[in-house]
Amino acid sequence: MSVYVSISIYLSIYLSIYLSIYLSIYRIYMHIYIDKFKVIQLVTENGPSPGEASRADQVTCLRRWKWRPFNVLSLFADEAERWRNTLGDSHFVVNFREKDGTNNIITSRPNMITNDASRAVPGCNLIIFTVPAFAHEGYFRAIAPYLEPNTVIVGLPSQPGFQFQCCDLLGIGGRTCAIVSFESLPWACRIGTFGREVQVLGPKDTLACAIIMRGCKSLFPILPTIQYIIGKEPKLTLAANYLSINLLADSVVHPPMMYGTWKDWDGQPVAEKPLFYQGLNEFSANLLDKVSTELVNTAQAIQQKYPEMNMKDVIHLFDWYKLNYKESIKDMSNLRMAMKTCTAYDGLVHPMKETPDGKFVPDFHYRYMTEDIPFGMVVFRGIAQLAGVPTPAMDETLIWGQKILGKEFLVDGELKGKDMNMTRAPQRFHFTSLFDLHHLQFPIYLSIYLSIYLSIYLSIYLSISSMARRCPYSYLSIYLSIYLSDSNNGL
């Protein structure tokens, strides 16, 4: 009997290890080939964001990228064709306002402007998303079949949940891609002339990002390369981990400010467009303070559960402004005054629609609501829910916001509304615990090791257990090893 048990154990272990390694390698690396170093091409993803630069003209980030070919991919309606026709044989012009008040004129010209991912993506080693978050899903699906191994995917900004959606939609090709997530835009910009000129109002001082390498062996140093592309400012910094970026994104700002300004609106048009940041009222500032505190509490809860996840980058919004706009803020006495006196926000108004009589009503279909709630506040709330942190201020904002949008996310204090599939909350992608979020940051080869370890453990346990019952259930361990190998590499 002891000989039979030993043989059964060894056989189960051997088959489990073999299947774990085989399935993991097959699923992850079956399409990888030895690749020669290629000239880095940049695909700047462009799309609609009504009222500002459609983010199409965020091609300004290419201000120091004149000697490398880069492509522009736009899936929005006929935007690519309109841009090509408008630009003609000319160069794109960036009017960059420096912090000292001087203007720096920069010119650049894309290698191609197209709506065809099969033309834009092949050969590219660096792909930068500059579209609003609601458009990311369409672009992920479009580029997935054409991704090169070891491509770097950049969200500039990523907006919360970018990593979850990227892992879910890019499939096998995405498993060797690095994911770079920036907390916000590097600057505010506005269209001068569509497809020809953009005005950059001023860069931030610093900008944080997180990098998940997964199975990527990048052909270039990632952060220095992106720094070179956007120029000397803002100074790019590396966050301790990807969850930090998801909790300090600036999409925490807009929904509470919209709620604080318009919660008591009587529906009547107003004579002028109210200032957005510089018109910040006391209620909105207090609400922002509370929401920001909830995010800090969430970060602390995550680090308490997993001490190796350094969440020091998740700081209060007031501290964030002091760090990122220290040269632009005139009054640092409190959060409200810091936002009201930030010169980078000079003249920025609430998103409004003009009425036939020349007055204005709030535009609740602007990205401050349609993007920053399902791809911002709901993601924050989802992470906080997994961390077990109460969020009354966030909930108050969400309940008003979902009513204005005609959506349902938060129901009876839980994220189980009928419209959750349009969000990027971790719950949508079947993250059910902090362990799931923690596990995502590790390289894929660690998943293989984990799968092997668990398979060996289960093989021994089930073999001994089955022999004790005189039943041939040891083969169950083999099937479990297949399941573990599959689930550990599903992302």
Give the C-alpha separation, 118 to 142, whole Å. 8
Q: Long-range CB contacts (< 8 A, 24+ apart) of 49-53?
A: 49/131, 49/132, 49/367, 50/366, 51/351, 51/363, 51/366, 52/189, 52/190, 52/191, 53/189, 53/190, 53/191, 53/198
Q: Closest Cα partner for 253 from 329, 387, 182, 159?
A: 159
CB neighbour list of residue 304: distance below 8 Å, 6 or more residues apart: none
Q: Indicate which residue of 254, 316, 365, 430 is catalytic.
A: 254
Residue 207 sits at φ, ψ, to 5 deg, of -150, 125
Please say whether the beta carbons of 120 and 43 come within 8 A.
yes
Which among 371, 460, 392, 448 has a CA at the least distance from the CA of 175? Answer: 448
Distance of CA 199 to the CA centre of its chain: 25
d(CA 106, CA 100): 17
The tokens of 20 are what?
């774990």
Which residues lie below 8 Å from residue 458, measured CB to CB, with a gap of 6+? 16, 477, 480, 481, 484
Assign 211 to helix, strand or coil: strand
Residue 181's DSSP bridge partners are 155, 210
Give me the long-range contacts of 313-319 (CB less than 8 A, separation at least 24). 313/208, 313/239, 313/240, 313/244, 313/245, 313/248, 314/244, 314/247, 314/248, 315/248, 316/289, 316/292, 317/252, 317/253, 317/288, 317/289, 317/291, 317/292, 318/289, 318/292
Q: Do the Cβ atoms of 343 and 325 come closer than 8 Å?
A: no
Give helix then strand counts, H and E, for the chain: 17, 16
Q: Does the active-site annotation cover 254?
A: yes
Residues assigned a catalytic role: 254
